[in-house]
Amino acid sequence: MRRHLLLATLLLGCAGAASAGQIYKWVDAQGITHFTAQPPQGGDASLVPPAKQPPHPAPVAASATASEDAPPTQAEIDERVRREVAQKEKERREYCTAQRTNLAQLRNSPRLLMKIDGETRRLTEEERQAKIAEAEKAIGEHCE
């Protein structure tokens, strides 16, 4: 097994060295073109130049990317900030409405059913009072 591994390693090493060598192109008496590592004896052969690496792509014109990379104007920044503030205010109002509705249900329904751990059950009075306190705290912190 080790011999096979050693032989394969040596062959791969030789293949890499052979690919780095020179290549000759020549035509025999029957008109067949050959490519070999050594020129034929007594015949004329031309050395094949190594393949050139493709050139690097040309840089994109600076004017084309300048508009994309340009920093935003103050008006654009202001507009974006206004939109973000309006979105956050809308989300806050929706949250407050939901909390107030939740608080009203907790206060007005002493026999409240809730789904807890996949099981629907009636809240005890202590649990209901704790939920009321949580809702009041959330409203006090986030709502007007």
State the chain's maximal CA–CA distance in angstroms: 110
CB atoms within 10 A of CB 141: 8
Sole residue written with tokens 């009636």: 122
CB 25 within 8 A of CB 50: no
| 50: its two tokens | 């190594």
CB 33 within 8 A of CB 23: no
pLDDT confidence of residue 23: 80
H helix intervals, the chain? 2-19, 62-69, 74-108, 125-142
pTM: 0.46
pLDDT confidence of residue 32: 81
Question: Per-block average pLDDT, block size 10, for the chain (144 residues)?
Answer: 58 54 77 78 76 66 61 90 94 92 88 80 88 92 84
CB atoms within 10 A of CB 135: 20
pLDDT confidence of residue 82: 94
Sole residue written with tokens 């649990």: 127
Sole residue written with tokens 């293949």: 15
Query: What are 27's strand-pairing partners?
Result: 33
pLDDT confidence of residue 84: 94
- Report the alpha-carbon distance of residue 92 to residue 139 in Å, rounded: 10
